[in-house]
Amino acid sequence: MKKLNIIFLVLISICVGISIGGYLFSQSQPRSFLAINRCQNCLTHEDLLGLLASVQIQKFSGLMPFKVFETDKTVVIKPPFSSHRIHYVIIPKKDIKNIGEISEADAQYLTDAFFVVRWIIEQEKLSKYRFCTNGPGSQDVTYLHFHLVSE
């Protein structure tokens, strides 16, 4: 009977874990290590960070460290260790891997991000700045984000 109870608890734990995982990753794009049968660089560090960033931004954006501003579609963080006087990272709340994978459905998130950038430029009174994103080969995190830095 004791073994039956343990087996039952293990099965319940697995079901709860699958349910929680399904909820957390429901709005995330598949990363290469999730499609193990057709990937070449499975379980890359960047893909794992992108998947975790997706969950953090979409489900727990209120708990993000270094967050300075948020709308319903965008989060802005200020990295603590930057060589620039002003450095913001602007992140759409929709999981988009990189600029090469945007779709029409992403337009509202990108538009909001650009308006947030405009607001930051006005607040900081910036005239010399760079606004950029990295392509898939240069991303540290496989999740579309933009950098606004002063020059």
> Cα–Cα distance between 31 and 151 in angstroms, integer?
34
Q: From 133, 132, 129, select the one nearest 121 (Cα to Cα).
A: 129
What residue ranges define each of the domains in the chain, with the CATH number in brackets? 2-150 (3.30.428.10)
The string of pLDDT tens digits covering residues 74-117 is 999 898 888 888 999 999 988 888 888 899 999 999 999 999 99
The string of pLDDT tens digits covering residues 30-75 is 555 445 555 555 567 677 777 777 777 777 777 778 889 999 999 9
Name the band, by pLDDT with cuts 50, 70 and 90, for residue 124: very high
